[in-house]
Amino acid sequence: MKTAEQADNAAEKLAAKPNLVGMRREELTQHLVALGIEPFRAKQIWQWIYTKGVTDFTAMSSIKKDTQALLAEHFSIARAGISRNAISFDETQKWLLKFADGQEVETVFIPDAPRGTLCVSSQVGCTLSCTFCHTGTQRLVRNLTASEIITQLLVARDGLGEWPGASGDKASAQGAKGDPRSGGVSEAKGGKPSSKDKSQWAVSTDPRQLTNIVFMGMGEPLYNYDNVIAAIELMLDGDGLALSRRKITVSTSGVVPKIVPLAKDAGVNLAISLHAVTNELRNQIVPINRKYPIEELLDACREYHSLVPSRHIMFEYVMLNGVNDSEEDAHTLVKLLKGIPSKVNLIPFNPWPGAPYTCSSNNRIHRFGRVLMAAGIATPIRKTRGEDIMAACGQLKSMSELKKGQKVKL
């Protein structure tokens, strides 16, 4: 069967019954009680889904067969379909996922031992049209559900072979259904890994390759606030995915009214896509600035920090040649950030077909960084990862969109 058909089938399956993936725990318990199943089963089911990665109720061996059947009759635990799975020469992996309505988003895994970061999408496309961002040029936009956000983690864990026993125990590695190694619904670049890639397909024995989550994929997370908060709650649940707040980062282009609520509702790391130091320039390149200018944005950051004092705020700054990368800009940035415990992440601009910018030279990036570091601000320069598979920061845009007009080699 063709990969696309398999992805369609998985998407249909998702549409058919309520999916337990992404459902709040209280809601799961209520459903169980309504079906006459003991409420304590909720924790067991939860663990099967989030710590064992099962995709089939029959694999839940601690649950009676007739209860398994009842659950299967009413619910699904399916993931999204995988339309495509590509692996970069630098081991960055990208999955193009397909949901019940046929919409697609991308999820990227960036290994950087001892860490592994999953860059998740929060929307199909983005309404905000930042001028340097490929996602912002996508026409179709909708919010992802909490289930569609969480499925990205589960698919990544499937693909990375991270569930306990994944190296051979089929019952506990059922998630590998979407795993290219199993000949499932996904497809590596060119259908299967090339010989140079083979080592990447060895099943890992380290259960914690995926350690960090960043909401830096497609979409503006704070425009999908409720679902993002629900997904974060699921990520933090100690009986399930059990990630810590310190390992989760939400990146926003500056939806000011949601920044303080995020501190209260989630308390995770905050990243701000600043990219310019004057309102004049930011109005042009990050158009949400026209609604919420830099001063209001930084006030919200100060308040965020007073509520979540243990964390620095990360300011992302894309390096656009001759646009925002002068030494004077760097000095102005130092002044703006005074009093906010900050880190600045300089992101080399990742070009995409038809992009109106070029990336600043290494010299200019380092010169800019030195000014900040001299002022005591930690200023890492982000390594560009997954460029060859269009998985680099800001390049994400669904392949179906690309097929409509643009030519991109994958």
CB 271 within 8 A of CB 316: yes
In the block, which residue shows the tokens 């969109």? Answer: 401
Smallest distance from the beta carbon of 275 to ligand SAH, in angstroms? 6
Please tell me what DSSP assigns to residue 105.
E
Kindly tell me which residue out of 252, 289, 379, 398 binds ligand SAH, with binding defined by CB under 6 A: 252
Whether 308 contacts 267, CB under 8 Å: yes
Query: Computed from CA positions of residues 236, 242, 243, 246, in that sequence, does the dihedral angle turn out positive or negative?
Result: positive
Question: Which member of 138, 350, 360, 398 binds ligand SAH (CB under 6 A)?
Answer: 350
Q: Are 188 and 200 in contact (CB under 8 A)?
A: no
Give dist(CA 195, CA 183) in Å, integer. Answer: 17
Comparing CB distances to ligand SAH, the nearer of 2 and 407 is 407
CA distances (Å), origin 176, targets 109, 115, 173, 179: 16, 22, 6, 5
Question: CB of 366: closest distance to ligand SAH in angstroms?
Answer: 17
Q: Is 133 in the site for ligand SAH (CB under 6 A)?
A: yes
Residue 253 sits in the site that holds ligand SF4 (CB under 6 A):
yes
Chain position carrying tokens 């109720």 = 57
> Per CB under 6 A, does 130 bind ligand SF4?
yes
Antiparallel, parallel or unpaired: β 248-252 and 123-124: unpaired
Residue 107 touching ligand SAH (CB under 6 A): no
If binding is defined by CB under 6 A, does position 128 make contact with ligand SF4?
yes
Rounded CA gap, 204 and 226, in Å?
34
Handedness of CA 219, 267, 22, 93 (dihedral sign): positive
Query: In angstroms, what is the minimal distance from the CB of 261 to ligand SF4?
Result: 18
Question: Which residues inside 287-316 make contact with ligand SAH, applying CB under 6 A?
Answer: 316
Interface stretch with ligand SAH, choices 26-34, 224-232, 343-351, 361-369 (CB under 6 A): 343-351
The residue from 103, 393, 397, 398 that contacts ligand SAH (CB under 6 A) is 393
Can you tell me whether residue 308 is helix, strand or coil? coil
**CB closest to ligand SF4, residue no:** 136
List the single partner that 371 binds among ligand SAH, ligand SF4, none, CB under 5 to 8 Å by kind. none
212 binds ligand SAH (CB under 6 A): no
Binding partner selected for residue 300 from ligand SF4, ligand SAH, none, CB under the kind-specific 5 to 8 Å limit? none
Residue 21 is a binding residue for ligand SAH (CB under 6 A): no
Chosen from ligand SAH, ligand SF4, none, partner binding at 316 (C-beta under 5 to 8 Å by type): ligand SAH
If one counts every other C-beta atom within 10 angstroms of the C-beta of residue 298, the result is 22
Q: Which two tokens stand for residue 306?
A: 């007073």
Q: Which of 124, 153, 87, 105 is nearest to 7 (CA)?
A: 105
Instruction: Work out how close the CB of 130 gets to ligand SF4 at its nearest, in angstroms, rounded to a whole number.
Output: 3
393 binds, among ligand SAH, ligand SF4, none (CB under 5 to 8 A by kind): ligand SAH
Query: Stretches 33-41, 151-159, 246-254, 360-368: which one binds ligand SAH (CB under 6 A)?
Result: 246-254
Tell me the two tokens of residue 182.
């199993």
Range list of β-strands (E), 139-281: 142-143, 212-215, 248-252, 269-273
Q: Strands, E, within 147-228: which ranges? A: 212-215
Residue 34 beta carbon to ligand SF4: minimum distance, rounded to whole angstroms: 39
Instruction: Please report, as ranges, the residues that interact with ligand SF4 according to CB under 6 A.
Output: 126, 128-130, 133, 135-136, 219-220, 253, 273
Instruction: Please report, as ranges, the residues that interact with ligand SAH according to CB under 6 A.
Output: 126, 130, 132-134, 216, 220, 251-253, 273, 316, 318, 347, 349-350, 393-395
